[in-house]
Chain A
């Protein structure tokens, strides 16, 4: 159980275009979904947190107009990188939060999406 999928797994795009990444919780309803960015040999950097039906909460330094997050349902969240530039090239990972028996949400991660902007 607690499977999270991401699509696409990798994408190459031209500078100036927009890219949409989907994150789905396959076998549970996620109260909260998170979007992270990871650079090579670095840890996960939280970009934003979203709850179904409400606006995402962005971390300091993350441009909300550049990284658009839509959380349409309890099983789907999307991240759109608008007007992508080479410096946006990175590994983007989503996670979905699943309420545990102890009452604590634990995050289950998707497989990640590697974005390369030319």
Chain B
């Protein structure tokens, strides 16, 4: 079993839809959870950062972490064509020097 599992998609939705992106993980030591957005041929851009379990909201984006289920989610409300990108989840175990473990990424396509 891989440490982080993420459905590669593509996930196609119409503009305005609510999008749900998910990752599962196996390492119970993970405490820090991030979502990155990567446009084609570009570096990943940090979208959301969450520590431990709970929800965090930033504009149209909501990140959820359920450590008991080892499951994290990113919700995008009122999706826009400009949200079309690959979304990578990432997680790490500790503070200070920290190595991130990435999911493979989910490609999202939002059609006008």
User: Which of chain B's residues 8-57 have a Cβ closer than 8 Å to chain A?
Assistant: 8, 32, 34, 36, 41-46, 49, 51
Q: Which of A2, A46, A91, A104 contacts B99 (CB 8 A)?
A: A46
Chain B interface residue count, CB cutoff 8 Å, equals 25
| Contact across chains for A109 and B98 when beta carbons are under 8 A apart | no
Q: Which of A43, A49, A91 contacts B102 (CB 8 A)?
A: A43
C-beta contact mask, B74-103 vs A, less than 8 Å → 1, else 0?
000000000000001000101111111011
Interface residue ranges, B against A (CB under 8 Å): 8, 32, 34, 36, 41-46, 49, 51, 88, 92, 94-100, 102-105
Interface residues of chain A: helix, strand, loop or mixed (majority): strand
Contacts of A51 in B (CB 8 A): 97
For B44, B94, B100, B104, the residue with the greatest tally of chain A CB atoms inside 10 Å of its CB is B44
| Contact across chains for B96 and A103 when beta carbons are under 8 A apart | yes
Give the number of residue pairs across the A-B interface with Cβ within 8 Å.
Answer: 62
Interface residues of chain B: helix, strand, loop or mixed (majority): loop
Closest to B97 in A: A32
Shortest Cβ distance from residue B48 to the other chain A in the assembled complex, whole angstroms: 11
User: Which of chain A's residues 95-118 have a Cβ closer than 8 Å to chain B?
Assistant: 95, 97, 100, 102-112, 114
Instruction: Give the interface residue-count category, chain A.
Output: 20 to 34
| Contact across chains for A41 and B49 when beta carbons are under 8 A apart | no
Closest to A105 in B: B98
Shortest Cβ distance from residue A63 to the other chain B in the assembled complex, whole angstroms: 19
